[in-house]
Amino acid sequence: MTSRNQSTKSIGILGTGSAVPERVLTNADLEAMVDTSDEWIVSRTGIRERRIADEGVGASHLAYRAALKALARAGTKAEELDLIICATVTPDMAFPATACLVQELLGVKNIPAFDLSAGCSGFGYALTVAESMLKSGTYQKALVVGVDILSRITDYEDRSTSVLFGDGAGAAILGEVPPGFGFLATEIGADGASGGVLSLPAGGSLQPASLESVQGRQHYIKMQGSDVFKFAVRIIEEAANRVVAEAGLNMDDITWLVPHQANIRIIRSSANRLGVPEERFFVNVDRYGNTSAASIGLALDELAERGDLKSGDSVVLVGFGAGLTWSALVLKWFEGGRSGE
């Protein structure tokens, strides 16, 4: 856990943004593609539809759109950024980093820009890394963007995974906020020994693309869903409780919990285990499915957009994903930096 006592500087979110593709893939569409039903998908996952990027759209394009919105909301010009971190497991290409492609699209020169891979925990990981870099005083304003185009690595012949995933991007501009606001506690972690339950086997250095890897459908997500489910409900409870205590708060003080949007049953079970009414958990998994690194940023932006985040609200962001990884953060929302557009 990151100690809050080492620096007096408070770092928070000045503005959020998000972007999703126009194209909608409904449960009815999936019924025509694999042996599934709307009833099964809704009752087992809570998902009704998800967004799918058109051919020719890369992660950098969605990330750029989300970044522009976040900059406008923060009242920040792209030239003011001195750091870009992009969390993704579906970069445009292995390199250059998607963060560098976003940097180019934004027209920002000579600043560090790098990608970070932590699956669906990526947004929380990137916020945590950016916060510590800003807290050190070396950097002043960071763009953090979580983006994934999981439809490119989803096997639409596999009913157990194809119904779960969607595409999107969520972004945040980080900068200094008044004392007492911003990030109050952060935790990131990983259990590499359990990583095999969720992976994309081929396309890397161990199993480069080959005729066999393509024919064996090894370029698609492989997941042991029930193992991920068990990990998720355990780690959400443990990590959320730890960061809330570290922030000197109780669960009753938390206005909103914004969990990674993977499955409504994981969210309900977590609400139950944490003793928090379900209404305080933000949910949009029904409309977007699991958007991986984009999920928490996209959810936070929708919450802000609909006017449900007030200055001083305490918010918990909690995610889990490939690695297996997790991230949990407590944020005291600061409204001052937003332009209100």
Under rule CB under 6 A, how many of the chain's residues touch ligand ACO?
A: 22
Active-site choice (86, 120, 250, 284): 120
**DSSP strand pairing (182-190 vs 167-177):** unpaired
Stretch that binds ligand ACO, among 74-82, 184-192, 220-228, 302-310 (CB under 6 A): 220-228
**Do the Cβ atoms of 175 and 142 come closer than 8 Å?**
yes
Tokens of residue 305, six digits = 């957009």
Residue 200 backbone dihedrals phi, psi, to 5 degrees:
-120, 95
Stretch that binds ligand ACO, among 7-15, 59-67, 157-165, 212-220 (CB under 6 A): 157-165
Stretch that binds ligand ACO, among 3-11, 37-45, 210-218, 242-250 (CB under 6 A): 37-45
> Which of 112, 102, 116, 93 has its CA nearest to residue 68?
102
Residue-wise over 244-268: b if at least 16 C-beta within 10 A, else e? bebbebebeebbbbbbbbbbbebbe
**Do the Cβ atoms of 163 and 41 come closer than 8 Å?**
yes
Could you say whether residue 40 binds ligand ACO (CB under 6 A)? yes
**Do the Cβ atoms of 120 and 114 come closer than 8 Å?**
no
**DSSP strand pairing (222-223 vs 142-149):** unpaired
Q: How far is CA 334 from the centre of its chain?
A: 20
* Minimum gap (Å) between residue 185 Cβ and ligand ACO: 23
Integer angstrom CA distances of residue 289 from 22, 25, 45, 236, 262: 14, 10, 9, 19, 7
Could you say whether residue 44 binds ligand ACO (CB under 6 A)? yes
Could you say whether residue 218 binds ligand ACO (CB under 6 A)? no
**Do the Cβ atoms of 150 and 291 come closer than 8 Å?**
yes
* Minimum gap (Å) between residue 158 Cβ and ligand ACO: 9
Among 45, 128, 270, 295, binds ligand ACO (CB under 6 A): 45
**What helix, strand, coil percent values describe the chain, rounded to 5?**
40, 25, 35
* Minimum gap (Å) between residue 34 Cβ and ligand ACO: 7
In terms of CB distance, is 233 or 247 closer to ligand ACO? 233
d(CA 237, CA 269): 9
> Which of 80, 18, 87, 84 has its CA nearest to residue 51?
18
* Minimum gap (Å) between residue 243 Cβ and ligand ACO: 20
In terms of CB distance, is 177 or 328 closer to ligand ACO? 328
Q: Between 261 and 280, how does the x/- string for binding to ligand ACO read (CB under 6 A)?
A: -xx-----------------
d(CA 327, CA 316): 10
* Minimum gap (Å) between residue 95 Cβ and ligand ACO: 21
Q: Which residue is nearest to ligand ACO (CB)?
A: 225
Stretch that binds ligand ACO, among 13-21, 134-142, 178-186, 226-234 (CB under 6 A): 226-234
In terms of CB distance, is 47 or 144 closer to ligand ACO? 47
Could you say whether residue 36 binds ligand ACO (CB under 6 A)? yes
- Residue 290 is among the residues annotated as catalytic for this protein: yes
In terms of CB distance, is 159 or 219 closer to ligand ACO? 159
Could you say whether residue 292 binds ligand ACO (CB under 6 A)? yes
* Minimum gap (Å) between residue 173 Cβ and ligand ACO: 25
Question: Segment 106-125, which members bind ligand ACO (CB under 6 A)?
Answer: 119-120
* Minimum gap (Å) between residue 215 Cβ and ligand ACO: 23
Tokens of residue 301, six digits = 């932006």
d(CA 8, CA 4): 8
Active site residues: 120, 260, 290
Binding stretches for ligand ACO (CB under 6 A) = 36, 40-41, 44-45, 119-120, 159-160, 163, 198, 225-226, 228-229, 232, 262-263, 290, 292, 321-322
